[in-house]
């Protein structure tokens, strides 16, 4: 499930639930819609409420990162738990996590 | 030191993606009797999820079939998990285990890091496969647990 916080150019997508192969398809479709129609400068995936992620999440993140870069934007990941950060590091995605530490946490609820 | 079998469990389920979550939860429930740490449970769940997803996405890509999940717990705290399919098989296991290697269609969201993740989270990963006959992935990890159990 996704909750979207829109600050104009910066969109935070708060994911909840497990990110596995089964769940990745729906998440990919929703995120690709946001990327294509809202065209954010920065898309931040907030993984605070993700209890589990396997390498399907790497595929999901790398794919969205590619799309964001194609339109001159950037993708960041924040609030991932330790095991998930370990998976991100394994796949060379440590940079998307490090940069997101500077991102503020959201309180406003502009969901759609 | 000879290790003795303490407990075992066998599960068979159809190769459909909703069973990815079911299978990793089942393994976590089986492992709990060894009083594992949160990190150990997360490691096992992740590795099993990778192996079962591979069976579903690759093993049975163009067909239907069952996935067999065997779990064994030994007196030295080792958990041994086997994920077995009777699908297409892997022509080149060494290549398949390289990071970023994937034969999955792009819309399947496989990153090519499945085996890398399994190897990173488990002590041992063994793969046996025969083209046209199926693949068995064996995962092993010694659970030190919260109380560092030595078995009884």
pLDDT tens digits, B96-129: 999 988 887 766 667 899 999 999 999 999 999 9
Instruction: State whether CATH 3.10.180.10 applies to domain B5-142.
Output: no
Mean pLDDT of B140-148: 85
Write the pLDDT tens digit of every residue in A2-57.
999 998 799 999 999 999 999 999 999 999 999 999 999 999 999 999 999 999 99
* Residue B50 annotated in active site: yes
Confidence of residue B146 (pLDDT cuts 50, 70, 90): confident
Residue B151, pLDDT above cutoff 60: no
CATH number of A2-100: 3.30.750.24
CA distance B149 to B124: 20
The whole-model pTM stands at 0.91
Chain A neighbors of B116, CB-CB under 8 A: 55, 90-91
Each domain of chain A, given as residue ranges in start order, spans: 2-100
CA distance A8 to A31: 16
Sheet with strand B66-74: strands edge to edge = B5-14, B66-74, B78-85, B134-142, B124-130
Of A55, A60, A82, the CB nearest to B117: A55
Token reading at A77: 């990941």
Q: What is the pLDDT of residue A41?
A: 96
CB contacts under 8 A, B 42-81 vs A, are 42-43, 45-46, 49-50, 53, 56-57
Q: Return the residue in B56, B99, B113, B116 with the most chain A beta carbons within 10 A, the one to mutate for interface testing.
A: B113
Residues with Cβ within 8 Å of B2's Cβ and at least 6 positions away in sequence, in order, are: none
Q: What is the ipTM of this complex?
A: 0.89
* Residue B7 annotated in active site: no
* Residue B19 annotated in active site: no
Q: What is the pLDDT of residue B110?
A: 75
Chain A neighbors of B118, CB-CB under 8 A: none
């Amino acid at each position: 499930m996704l909750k979207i916080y829109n600050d104009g150019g910066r969109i935070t997508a708060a994911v909840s639930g497990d990110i596995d192969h089964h769940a990745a398809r729906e998440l990919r479709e929703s995120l690709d819609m946001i990327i294509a129609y809202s065209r954010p400068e920065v898309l931040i995936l907030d993984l605070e409420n993700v209890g589990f992620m396997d390498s399907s999440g790497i595929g999901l993140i790398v794919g969205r990162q590619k799309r964001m870069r194609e339109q001159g934007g950037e993708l960041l990941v924040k609030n991932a738990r330790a095991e998930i950060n370990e998976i991100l590091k394994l796949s060379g995605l440590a940079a998307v996590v490090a940069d997101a530490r500077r991102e503020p946490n959201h309180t406003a609820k502009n969901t759609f | 030191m000879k290790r003795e079998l303490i407990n075992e469990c066998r599960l068979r389920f159809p190769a459909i993606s909703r069973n990815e979550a079911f299978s990793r939860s089942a393994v976590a429930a089986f492992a709990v009797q060894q009083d594992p740490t949160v990190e150990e449970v997360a490691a096992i769940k992740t590795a099993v999820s990778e192996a079962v997803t591979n069976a579903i996405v690759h093993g049975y890509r163009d067909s239907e079939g069952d996935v067999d999940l065997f779990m064994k717990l030994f007196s030295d705290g080792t958990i041994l998990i086997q994920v077995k399919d009777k699908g297409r098989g892997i022509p080149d296991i060494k290549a398949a285990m390289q990071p970023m290697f994937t034969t999955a269609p792009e819309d399947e969201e496989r990153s090519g890091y499945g085996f890398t993740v399994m190897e990173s989270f488990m002590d041992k990963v063994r793969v046996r496969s025969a083209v046209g006959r199926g693949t068995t992935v064996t995962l092993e990890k010694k659970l030190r647990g919260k109380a560092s159990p030595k078995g009884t």
